[in-house]
Amino acid sequence: MIYLKTAEEIELMRGACDLVSRTLGEVAKWIRPGITTLQLDTIAREFILDNGGKPSCLGYHGFPGTLCIEVNETVVHGFPSQQTLREGDIIGTDCVVELNGYCGDSCYTFAVGEIDPKVQALLDTTYKSLYKGIEAARAGKRIGDIANAVQTYCEARGYSVVREMCGHGIGRSMHEAPEVPNFGRRGTGPLLKPGMCIAIEPMINLGSKNIVIERDGWTCRTRDRKPSAHYEHTIAVTAGEPEILTTFRYVNEALESKQSS
Ligand code: MF3
Ligand code: CO
């Protein structure tokens, strides 16, 4: 069942999405060699609680963090830990916040200091593919149009698309129908209608598309241990342009002020 949101509900979605966006902005300020992923998780949790929100991932089916931590070959759902970030790493921080009964979901993959240009190119392509997907999220089109836009953009540049993990509808729950895959055929899948809120989240690998789940039951990494990138926005389908409910503005502001200091 796909729930279409009213204008009032979308206004509440905007609130949750703004808070998760500001949370990633706080995290961005602290990304540097030497910090542990557990410290980043604490920063995110305290920020959300201080702002009246709820960290949705924490305790979700037993997940132990506010952030899903994705260092290098980790695709999604890594645990915060004592692992220290090092120059040359990449780290995705995926976060879901609930505020006033609605959820916002966003992920950003950061470079830690100087990184290999080949890995930077993976980040750039994955980032752009997210906006290609969003561009296709228009009333009258279908989920497969979003999926195909992401897939063709990434595969044309030599990267591979993770198959097992998808974007999703979002609203009162962080995961609602429909699934939003990052691969598929144009003109297939559920029809997009105004009021649909979905999280689009390309998970793109430098090497092969294959993944494994670690023995902890959560941590998903690439089988070949090559890096994987992940960006995510929560969006609303409208009668016109798609509305991006989350924003990377706070992340970008934090990264810019780090560079100039
Ligand atoms: N953005 C992630 C997703 O859509 C959030 C997962 S929260 C977790 O799957 F608790 F399942 F890790
Ligand atoms: Co998500």
Q: What is the pLDDT of residue 258?
A: 87
If you classify domain 7-260 with CATH, what class do you get? alpha beta
Per-residue pLDDT averaged across 7-16, rounded? Answer: 98
The response to whether residue 68 sits with its C-beta less than 6 Å from ligand 1 reads yes
Place of tokens 């990184």: 115
Residue 227 banded pLDDT, cuts 50, 70, 90: very high
Categorize the per-residue pLDDT at 259 as very low, low, confident or very high, splitting at 50, 70 and 90.
confident
177 within 8 A of 2, measured Cβ to Cβ: yes
Ligand nearest to the CA of 197: 2
Q: How far is the CA of 127 from the centre of ligand 1 (A)?
A: 19
* pLDDT 10s digits, 81-113: 999 999 999 999 999 999 999 999 999 999 999
**What is the best residue among 58, 63, 68 to mutate for testing ligand 1's pocket, by most ligand atoms within 8 Å of CB?**
68
Residue 187 backbone phi and psi in degrees, to 5 = 75, 10
**8 Å CB contact between 143 and 189:** yes
Amino acid type, 146: I
Share of the chain above pLDDT 90, in %: 98
Q: How confident is the model at residue 261 (pLDDT cuts 50, 70, 90)?
A: confident
Whether pLDDT at 236 is above 80: yes
The DSSP result for the chain, as a single string, is -PPPPPHHHHHHHHHHHHHHHHHHHHHHHH-STT-BHHHHHHHHHHHHHHTT-EESSTTGGG---SEEEEETTEEE-BPP-SPBP-TT-EEEEEEEEEETTEEEEEEEEEE-SS--HHHHHHHHHHHHHHHHHHHT--TTSBHHHHHHHHHHHHHHTT-EE-SS--EEE-SSSSSEEEEE-SS--TT-SSBP-TT-EEEE--EEESS-S-EEE-TTS--EEETT---EEE-BEEEE--SSSPEE-S-SHHHHHHHHHHHT-
Q: Considering only CA atoms, which residue is closest to atom 2 of ligand 1?
A: 94
Instruction: Give yes or no for residue 20 CB within 6 A of ligand 1.
Output: no
The closest ligand to the CA of 94 turns out to be: 1
| Ligand 1 neighbour 105 (Cβ under 6 A) | yes
Ligand nearest to the CA of 66: 1
Closest atom of ligand 1 relative to the 167 alpha carbon:
4
Q: What is the pLDDT of residue 260?
A: 85
C-alpha 175 to ligand 1 mean position (Å):
8
Q: Mean per-residue pLDDT for 134-161?
A: 99
Ligand 1 atom with the shortest distance to the CA of 232: 1
Question: Average pLDDT, whole number, for the chain?
Answer: 98
